[in-house]
Each structure stands twice: as structure tokens, then as C-alpha cells.
Chains A and B, each alone.
Chain A
Amino acid sequence: MSARPLGARPAGAQPMSARPLGARHLLSIDDLGRDGIVDVLHLADVFEEVSARDIPKVPALRGRTVATVFFENSTRTRLSFETAAKRLSADTMTFTAASSSLSKGESLRDTVETLDAMGVDAMVVRHASAGAPHQIAGWVSASVVNGGDGQHEHPTQALLDCFTLRAALAERSTTGRRRDDLAGVRIAIVGDVHHSRVARSCVLAFRALHAEVVLVGPPTLLPPVVEDWGVEVTHDLDQALERVDVAYMLRLQSERIAEALIPSLGEYSVRFGLTRDRARRLHEDLLVMHPGPMVRGIEIDAEVAQSSRSLVTRQVAAGVAVRMAVLFQLLTPAGERSVEGALVHG
């Protein structure tokens, strides 16, 4: 039997182990590594069950405050984090750049230090500039979660994608068990990779879990130094779709595209969109994912997004469970897993 003694905790003798370095913030998928990702996925399994209850709320973060600090627009990420925080019984605060003193000329640093002084425990930061959350993490005592920074990273999106994919693959497997890696799974990330922070985080996360990743897009929308990413690159979507298990479609980020990188939307859609016509030719098992917001008719056809092969709504649902896991992990003391059983029970 395992050495998991229940009721064995001597009063006042629990060691408070220091947090592992870097675990106070979640700024990049690289902060987590493979083991960190798997830890989040396991925790998210628990919170998925909580979310499915009639009363989807646990008192785990009672008395903590989570602020969403968004300098850029968002629907799902902000709502998802707020829902996650509320389901953990944390209090939530909302900061939006448009209605703030930023418009009076207050600096970024003063803004976040003000929030910090109010005793916020975690800040979920979204900013149009890459690296802004890193910068803020150095200024405040709160935990900082990167909710998307420029074209850099969007780590919780990648985590929820891993969670969704892992669950969907488990349902198709004979054992039904959720695996701790994506070994042998081939994923095509399609479209505007260059402007996509989601793509960056997803490539890091998918590869950390040993999936095979291929990037598909026009040369103008692929990152200039894509060789460093260590993934395959192709410009032929049809050929790529024949040999992958998952088509991860990206939104064409028109707001970040200043110059003419594509001839026309129509042509982009025909060559790199998951059109109805293309969907008919897909092999039966191909799964379709999209981080949202979707621009139906451009990168993905409305019918395809609604079809049974689409994981889009499951991604959104997974987002809440995964963000609960992330907030829980950042805001409760970390411990050594090996002796945790002895420490938690009384």
C-alpha cells in the first residue's frame, strides 16, 4: 500500500515548502514545462466536475480577490476568468482601459500599482504589447496571469486547448482514459500564425506534450524565423489536412494586419479557410478547433464550426475549468506532492 497515512498530521508540524521558482505568475507556457502543464490538466479534471454540479461553486479561494486587467478588448477570456474566480468563491474586480484614468494620462505602472495597493491577489492582464504582463509582474506583489500579450503568448488558451483535445481523444479511445501527453497526435495550426499569440502558446504546449505540429499558412502570415520553432511548415492546406488528426484554425487578425499581406479575403478563404467545400473532403476523424472569436465565412465555415467534429464550444467550457485550476494553483500554497497526503488530511 502507499504510504498515505490519513489523520497523521501532528498539529503545527507541517512544513511550508517554498513555492517553486516562477510559480507565482503564469506568463508563458515555458514557465510550466511538461510537468507543469500536466499538473494543470489534472487539477482541471477536478474543476470540470465542480463546474458540472448543480451548485458549481467551492469555497477554495474565499477572501481572495482576482482582478481582470484588460487593456485590450476581449469577451471570452475575461468572462471565463471571472466565472472561474467566482466558482472558486474569490471576489472579482474588473478593469477596462477605456473607462479608466488611463484616458487622463495615468501610466501603466501607476494603474497596476493602484490595483495592487488595493490588495488584489491575482491580476489577469491582457495588453496589446508583448511583454507587458512580464513587466507588470515585476512591479506588483499580486500574482500575474498573462491573458494575452500582443503577438507573444496566451498561455491559458493553450492549456484549455490541451485539456479539450485530451478529453476528446479519451472519448474516442478504447480505454476512455485521459492521457498525460499528446504523443502521436498530429495537429495542423492553420492561418495567421504570425499575428497569433494563441499559436505561439499552442505550439509550445502541444510540443511539450509530444504532439506533432505543422504550421499551415501563406508565407506572409508565418513568422519570419519559424525555423527556430522546430515545427514543420507548409503552404498547402489540403495536403496537410490529409495527414493530421486536428485542424486548429486561427482567426485572421485584421486589426493587426497593417499592410497587404494577403491578396484578398476571398482568396485567403479559398486557400486557407475551412470552407464547406473543403470540409466535405476531410477524413472522418479529423477534429476542428478554433480559439475564438471566429470570423465565420473567412477562416471557418459556419456549418463546419457547428458540426460534430468541431470542439469549439467544448473549448469554451474547458476554459473555465482550466482557469479555475490556474487561479487555484497560483493562489494556494504549493507543496511537495510526495507528502501531500500526510499534510492535507486531519
Chain B
Amino acid sequence: MDPDDMRRALVRIAHEILERNHGADDLVVVGLQTGGVDLAQRLVTLLAEIDGGKVPHGRLDVSLYRDDISLRPVVPESVTNIPLDLTGRIVVLVDDVLFTGRTVRAALDALGDHGRARAVQLAVMVDRGHRELPIRPDYVGKNLPTRSDELVEVGPAGVVLGDLLGDLQ
């Protein structure tokens, strides 16, 4: 996916969100640290352009809620910022890549501490498969079949597929 493809996917997702929820009332867009934060920001801008309303948004760091916290290094990368009580709102969680689903599971736990949302929906730029939990996205930029040892990077340059070990060295 090049940057234009990503932009088009985001525009489509923004339309889908508004269609499904009959407008932007009660919506809150929450980006997951760190890959979902920029996307959430862009989505909010698009929602405002399409619908005219300003949708509140926040960011969520789920490191402290992960179930694998005792297995591998987990260090919060940034401070969570949810600007309002989520009780009764419709939360759209935004992340760049959906993989095992564990981040999203942790995010659902984390959201619970900020109020009881009426509904939580999930938007991702890339769904790469290999789920380990019964979690599915509501809005998908692109379904991307991958090997589990491949690397998927989403950034301003688009979506890049690489080799994990090679890229991390």
C-alpha cells in the first residue's frame, strides 16, 4: 500500500464509521500507542471533513494490561490520555496492524477503566491474520495475508512488508 492507498482506505473507513453509527454523535476515537495514534488523528480530521462535527479523541497505552507482561519486556511508551468519561459513548479503537489480537484484548480491559462504553468498534489499517484470540475488526484498510515471522510496518510511507530479523538488526 502506498500513501495514497492508505489515505483512500482511511476515507472509506471514515465513511463506514459514519454510516454504521448514523453520524458522529457519541463517537470517541481512541488510538492505540503508538501505531494507532497518528491514524486516529487522521481519522478524526476526516470525520470532521465529512460530517462537520468534531469527534473527541484520545490515546491509550495498553502495556500495563497485557497478559504477557511477565513473559517479555513491557514498558509503557507514552502516557494514556482519554479526555472524557467513556460511559455511554461509542468508542472506535484504532490500531495500525491487527495480528494476534492480544493488544486489542488488553485495550478492551484498559477502556473499561475509563467508563462503560455503549459499544466498542475496532478499526485497523492492516489485518495480517494469525489471531490467537476471538477478536475481529469492524473496519479494515487492507487484509494482508502474511507469514507469522514477517514484519508489517505502517507509516507515512505506506505499508511495508519485511523480514523481522533482518529489519531489527
A1-B156, A60-B64 are contacts. A344–B149 as well, Cβ < 8 Å? no
With a CB–CB cut-off of 8 A, which chain B residues contact A337? Answer: 75
B96 interface neighbour in A6, A46, A54, A346, Cβ under 8 Å: A6
Q: Does B21 contact A (CB under 8 A)?
A: no
With a CB–CB cut-off of 8 A, which chain A residues contact B96? Answer: 6-7
A334–B71 alpha-carbon span in the complex (Å): 10
A46–B65 touching, CB < 8 Å: no
With a CB–CB cut-off of 8 A, which chain A residues contact B64? Answer: 46, 50, 58-60, 88, 328
14 CB contacts below 8 A, A to B, read A1-B153, A5-B97, A8-B151, A8-B152, A11-B148, A46-B76, A53-B114, A54-B115, A335-B75, A337-B75, A344-B73, A345-B35, A345-B103, A346-B103
| Cross-chain pair count, CB within 8 angstroms | 140
Size of the chain A interface, CB-CB below 8 angstroms: 44
A59-B64, A59-B65, A59-B109 are contacts. A333–B168 as well, Cβ < 8 Å? no
* Chain A interface (Cβ < 8 Å from any Cβ of B): 1, 3-11, 13-14, 16-17, 43, 45-46, 48-50, 53-55, 57-60, 63, 88, 328, 332-337, 339-346
**Interface range on chain B: under 10, 10 to 19, 20 to 34, or 35 or more?**
35 or more
A159 to chain B, nearest CB (A): 17
Q: Which residue of A lies closest to B99 (CB)?
A: A7
Which of these binds chain A: B10-18, B22-30, B41-49, B77-85?
B77-85
A53 to chain B, nearest CB (A): 6
A10–B149 alpha-carbon span in the complex (Å): 5
B35–A4 touching, CB < 8 Å: yes
With a CB–CB cut-off of 8 A, which chain B residues contact A49? Answer: 79-81
B154–A53 touching, CB < 8 Å: no
With a CB–CB cut-off of 8 A, which chain A residues contact B61? Answer: 46
A8-B152, A344-B63, A344-B66 are contacts. A3–B75 as well, Cβ < 8 Å? no
A73–B37 alpha-carbon span in the complex (Å): 46
